[in-house]
Structure 1
């Protein structure tokens, strides 16, 4: 049974999705891919289903009606991955901002000793390509803000390129995760650390998309700013008791 599933949320990614899948399936490790498509009007899901005929045992798709948010897409995918008993569960963007080659390195970090491996843009400086300086600064100082408020020692708290051991997702009450946008990534890292899991950062180079349209907006940043405060306050009234999962690698 293959051990790794890569969850890729999509909305209008027809320019990228076929190239991405071809690249992931060409890697030396046998990665499976789960696409969570939120009703892309550009036909992204149709492209995936066509490619699925070539990879019936490796490529899966879940279609949802309308844009429901990045966080809910990943939660949907996490439940699916747990139900199908994958040991390593990945988050990755569809637009090649995350290099598929780095899937190997993130997985290896979890094989070695990590419970959660984060593809980090900032752990060895600022490794971002094609972003305007204003966005680099906003992203970098968002992580500074998160560290200041929460106390967690993660240089890239908003990173969306992640590998989880299944036991992390089994332990976290996924249906209690509050945020659906930018803050979702922060909440998942914060919650994993509060449960005592070993979260490590693996340096990557992040390259902004060259085709398609970014989904980032000021409302997403606003959710993160207010959400971090709310999340930290809520943690004072919550017990993070780990129960050993049914199985682990």
Structure 2
């Protein structure tokens, strides 16, 4: 897997990120001048989409998709992935608009893709860290990821992370048309699908920085959806495993 990485695009979903969007695009374009940016805006009432349009008008590496309503993180990423695949990108990535995912660390993910199908910028592997998080939030994230590992039987330590890069072949193989998760559980969903397809997932340590401007999109409803979906998947997988064991025993 040591071939050149080809054309790269980072998909950046936005909703009310007017304070951050120009800043994060500028940092990304400076850190990785050859990497394109695709902003997927869910009709932000604060004018985020219009700011992105003005940047795109002056920079051919920046593109903008406007969605008609706030449809959730997963839906925005699916829209962005479809556009990126249609436009021939070889590597398709995800990152937040609020600065929590530092563009200056993107090279770590891209370099690791030489030996992987999906690379995750991880807070919870050795060398990873978080900045300005209260202990309660760190405990919730660590606990949630432990729950994912135990219930889904995956070894990834930060399956909920949103800083990642995929090979286009990975997205083509995991059948995005069948993805129904829309909130933050979307990230766990794609990790599970990638592993189930027999593909290689690699985690690299990053420093995650809590946003300084604007409001977090994480809510109790989002967390509840994630827990519910992961539990459903885990129980379904356990039933499937029991069924396979029973058929082997009967045969």
Cα 1:24–1:226 shift into 2, 3 Å: same
Aligned partners of 1:174 and 1:39: how far apart in 2?
A: 23
Q: Tell me the equivalent position of 1:166.
A: 168
TM-superposed CA distance for 1:28, in Å, is: 4.2
Q: 1:9 aligns with which of 9, 13, 19?
A: 13
Given the two structures, how large is their TM-score scaled by the length of structure 2?
0.90
Q: 2:51 aligns with which of 31, 47, 51?
A: 47
TM-superposed CA distance for 1:178, in Å, is: 2.0
Q: 2:72 aligns with which of 69, 73, 92?
A: 69
More helix by share: 2
Question: 1:97 is paired with a residue of what secondary structure?
Answer: coil
Aligned partners of 2:223 and 2:198: how far apart in 1?
A: 27
Aligned partners of 1:231 and 1:62: how far apart in 2?
A: 31
Cα 1:203–1:227 shift into 2, 3 Å: same
Report if the CA contact (8 A) 1:2-1:32 is conserved: no
Query: Where in structure 2 are the equivalents of 1:1-249 lying within 5 Å?
Result: 3-55=7-59, 57-110=60-113, 112-124=114-126, 127-235=129-237
Aligned residues: 236
Report if the CA contact (8 A) 1:36-1:61 is conserved: yes
Q: Tell me the equivalent position of 1:241.
A: none
Q: Tell me the equivalent position of 1:242.
A: none
Given the two structures, how large is their TM-score scaled by the length of structure 1?
0.91
Aligned partners of 2:96 and 2:109: how far apart in 1?
A: 15
Q: Which runs of 5+ in 1 are unaligned?
A: 239-249
Aligned partners of 2:201 and 2:163: how far apart in 1?
A: 13
Aligned partners of 1:157 and 1:78: how far apart in 2?
A: 19
Q: Rg larger in 1 or in 2?
A: 2
Aligned partners of 2:23 and 2:133: how far apart in 1?
A: 22
Aligned partners of 1:132 and 1:16: how far apart in 2?
A: 22
RMSD: 1.6
Q: Runs ≥4 in structure 1, deviation > 6 angstroms?
A: none
Question: 1:7 is paired with a residue of what secondary structure?
Answer: strand
